[in-house]
Amino acid sequence: MISLLKHVPSGKKIIVAGCLPLINFDRLVKETRFEGAVGPAPGDKIVHIVNRVIAGERVIALENAQHSMPSLLLPRIRVNPIIGIIPVSYGCLGSCAYCCVVFARGKLRSYPIHEIIERARLDLADGVKEFWITSQDTACYGKDIGSSLPVLLESICAINGAFNVRVGMMNPHMTLGILKELLKAFENEKIFKFLHLPVQSGDDDVLKLMRRPYTIAEFKSIVEAFKAKFPRLTLATDIICGFPGETEEAFENTLKLIEEVKPDIVNVSKFFARPRTPAAKMSYKIPASEIKRRSEVLTELTLKISLERNMQWIGWEGEILVDEIGMVRDSWVGRNFAYKPIVVKSESNLLGKRLRVKVEKAFPTYLEGKIILG
Ligand code: SF4
């Protein structure tokens, strides 16, 4: 991000918005120039700030950023007209040792259900067909206001209309506490059978060092419960390679977990000490070359498993919602009930259409199909 800012032509004014100014303001001052800085989700405050910067003022508006919550009902310009992204809460209840997001986002603040429903209704009236329910930890939605994620999902699904819902990342610890109700809420056909459950490491000792309050056995129990009910579930998880104290044996445990659980998607990241985090002060740092090696070994394994998982969809026939323009000309990406991306070809504009397709080919990150009925 900072390197991008360095390339902004000198005649242009810069307002840095989001987590960065709260997490690393000193580095921002040292390495770049900017006329304004504002925290995440400034809401309609941004209009006032932009006007002041245009008028020649230097505006640093970072106070209260960890407590603010802009109205969900502000007008929106969507990058993708089919997808409505609804942040249902800000902040989280965690204190993970590597995380700096928590400095910028603060403690959990959930939007009331009626405001989320109102947002969803406005989006549907604008032509949205797919909602992404997002948060730093979606599973802790409502804990500060006496509500819960399953109750929210049931309320959203009760809105009339043909739409789908993708539930965002949920931490295993918080998911365990709502598991029974969540599985029930996921029965609704509108909810994609897609579970993003970041495990971060396959080793209990490393999880303790990371201050992630769950065990590998608990993570596996959530996955098993979901797979027992939704056998064709898409499972996504995240792994950090080379956290301080991750021994070779601990890393092997991560490989074993991935082999056993076989996630469809694994977001692999290399550990990097964020300023002011407890992890930045930890001893037993892993050399950068070893972190790189581990991430390469893990990535190779995850791609092999992703391909194996996707091969199982060859021959599948069913409905997709086209929610994305493809990378190559005349290609479109649709999602089936398990949120699997299926690429189809057509010269017509298919965005937002529901089609019947048959999967013919599989790749590690997507499937290819032909349209049977559209
Ligand atoms: S990693 Fe997620 S749950 Fe943990 S402190 Fe950061 S935002 Fe919160």
Query: 138: Cβ below 6 Å to ligand 1?
Result: no
What is the structure's pLDDT at 3? 82
Contact between residue 83 and residue 76 where contact means Cβ atoms under 8 Å apart: no
Asked if the domains 83-308 and 317-373 are classified in one and the same CATH topology, the answer is no
Substitution candidate for ligand 1 out of 136, 169, 176, 197 with most atoms within 8 A of CB: 136
Query: Domain 83-308 is classified in which CATH homologous superfamily?
Result: tm_1862 like domain (3.80.30.20)
Q: In what order do the strands lie in the sheet with 15-17?
A: 15-17, 36-38, 59-61
What is the structure's pLDDT at 21? 85
What is the structure's pLDDT at 321? 98
What is the structure's pLDDT at 235? 98
Q: Whose CA is nearest to atom 3 of ligand 1?
A: 94
Domain ranges of the chain: 2-61, 83-308, 317-373
Ligand 1 atom closest to residue 95's alpha carbon, by position in its atom list: 5
Q: Whose CA is nearest to atom 2 of ligand 1?
A: 136
Confidence of residue 4 (pLDDT cuts 50, 70, 90): confident
Substitution candidate for ligand 1 out of 22, 66, 89, 92 with most atoms within 8 A of CB: 92
**Mean pLDDT, rounded, for 215-226:** 98
* 58 Cα to the center of ligand 1, angstroms: 32
Substitution candidate for ligand 1 out of 95, 101, 209 with most atoms within 8 A of CB: 101
Query: 92: Cβ below 6 Å to ligand 1?
Result: yes
CATH of 317-373, one of 1.10.3720.10, 3.20.20.80, 2.40.50.140, 3.30.70.260: 2.40.50.140
Structural tokens at position 212: 């992630």
Ligand 1 atom closest to residue 136's alpha carbon, by position in its atom list: 7
Give per-residue pLDDT as tens, 178-192: 999 999 999 999 999
* 102 Cα to the center of ligand 1, angstroms: 6
Ligand 1 atom closest to residue 93's alpha carbon, by position in its atom list: 8
**Mean pLDDT, rounded, for 351-359:** 97
Give per-residue pLDDT as tens, 282-320: 988 999 999 999 999 999 999 999 999 999 999 999 999
Q: Say what the alpha-carbon torsion angle 26, 29, 32, 35 is, to the nearest 10 degrees.
A: 130
pTM: 0.92
